[in-house]
Structure 1
Amino acid sequence: MVVLNRIYTKTGDDGSTALGSGERRPKFDLRVTAYGTVDETNAAIGVVRLHLKDAVELDAMLGRIQNDLFDLGADLAVPERQGKAERLRLLASQVERLEREIDQLNEKLAALTSFVLPGGTAAAAHLHLARTICRRAERVVVELAARPDEPVGAAAIQYLNRLSDFLFVASRTANNNGAGDVLWVPGQNR
């Protein structure tokens, strides 16, 4: 259970922050950047949800994803170490649920004949923005995982990879199941 009585603690005034383990790191530390970028993805999804008036099913999916992203942030905020008590970790079942939801949304979409430009409805445009932020989060988490002293669970990386796919398919769903997609025309303005 999380209890937040005081919002400001002044402990970060020196440019450091505490991981979930209590260990202090500089605010520019790659692990802090990783879970901060996951948080940014979550905030972008929150903006998307403002534009989903009648898309109850998609909104519910995004609500579950927002909760998963907090789980992921908690996972990243406490590095895996041998001999330590297990903390909240992202699970393969969360990745699998995301895959099922991608398949469910994708069933209703026509095949693509070109790349899709970010745009269409407001919800679709914001989903594309969330997708690009998610891709950045994935790059940072993969970079973190490549460091021998910074363990990251496989499910965390897999989840971010699937999430960007989900957000792409969701953007097409928000564009009238792809009918409102803005397609790239190679060399159109030459």
Structure 2
Amino acid sequence: MKKSQLYTATGDQGTTSLIGGQRIDKSAPRIEAYGTIDELNSHIGLLAAHMTADQLLAPRFPVIQSRLFDIGSSLATPPSADTPPAPGVDAAEIADLEALIDEVDAELPPFRCFVLPGGSVAASQAHVARTV
């Protein structure tokens, strides 16, 4: 497999290419969306690095990151591309993630005020990921 380049050498004319080669404005909502997904994925990776392997969410992060990568790939692939669509996130995966959220939430006491970000490096990073 050929290693992909880190730069395109096409200059910056305010456009970028999607999968399949179509060029669109860098300010397009599609580019903003997959850029935000990529940013969230990076923050989750950093959060995972601050956690120990035995923590409840730690084993789930690679799966979550893979799904985010799939979503980003899907956003980067226009419907007209001669490339098969990237796998999406199905209803079962959403239900699984919601069940995990409910499991974690059940361990917490009821909130009686706003939660200020902080407490530990991992908690702070979780807040950053949440805001993305």
Using the size of structure 1 for normalisation, the TM-score is: 0.61
In structure 2, the CA distance between the partners of 1:26 and 1:131, relative to structure 1 (3 Å rule), is same
TM superposition shift of 1:26? 1.7
Q: Which residue in the other structure is 1:138 paired with?
A: none
- The answer for the alignment partner of 2:5 in structure 1 is 6
- Residue 45 of structure 1 contacts residue 66 of structure 1 at CA under 8 Å; is this kept in 2? yes
* Structure 2 partner of 1:42: 41
Residue 87 of structure 1 corresponds to which residue in structure 2?
Answer: 85
CA RMSD of aligned residues (A): 2.2
Structure 2 unpaired stretches of 5+: none
TM-score in terms of structure 2 length? 0.84
Q: Write the distance in 2 (CA, Å) between the matches of 1:109 and 1:117.
A: 15
Amino acid at match of 2:130: R
Q: Does 1:112 align with 2:123?
A: no
Percent identity, aligned pairs only?
A: 38
Cα 1:111–1:59 change in 2 (3 A) is same
2:30 maps to a residue whose letter is R
- CA change 1:32–1:124 in 2 (3 A) is same
User: What is the aligned partner in structure 2 of residue 170 from structure 1?
Assistant: none
Pick closer, same or farther for the CA change 1:77–1:22 going to 2, 3 Å: same
Contact residue 43 and residue 129 of structure 2 kept, 8 A: yes
Shift in Å at residue 13 of structure 1? 3.1
Residue aligned with 2:24, SS: strand
Equivalent AA in structure 2 for residue 87 of structure 1: P
8 Å Cα contact 1:11-1:17 kept in structure 2: no
Q: Is the 8 A contact 2:14 2:25 kept in 1?
A: yes
Give the length in aligned residue pairs. 130
**In 2 relative to 1, CA 19–117 (structure 1 residues): closer, same or farther, beyond 3 Å?**
same
Note closer, same or farther for the CA distance 1:5–1:21 as it changes in structure 2 (3 Å cut): closer
Stretch of structure 1 that moved more, 120-129 or 105-114: 105-114
Alignment map for 1:16-27 (pairs within 5 Å):
16-27=15-26
Could you tell me how far 1:102 is from its partner in structure 2? 0.7
**Structure 1 residue 12 displacement after superposition:** 4.9
5+ residue gaps in structure 1?
134-190
* Residues 16 and 10 (structure 1), Cα distance of their counterparts in 2 relative to 1, 3 Å cut: same
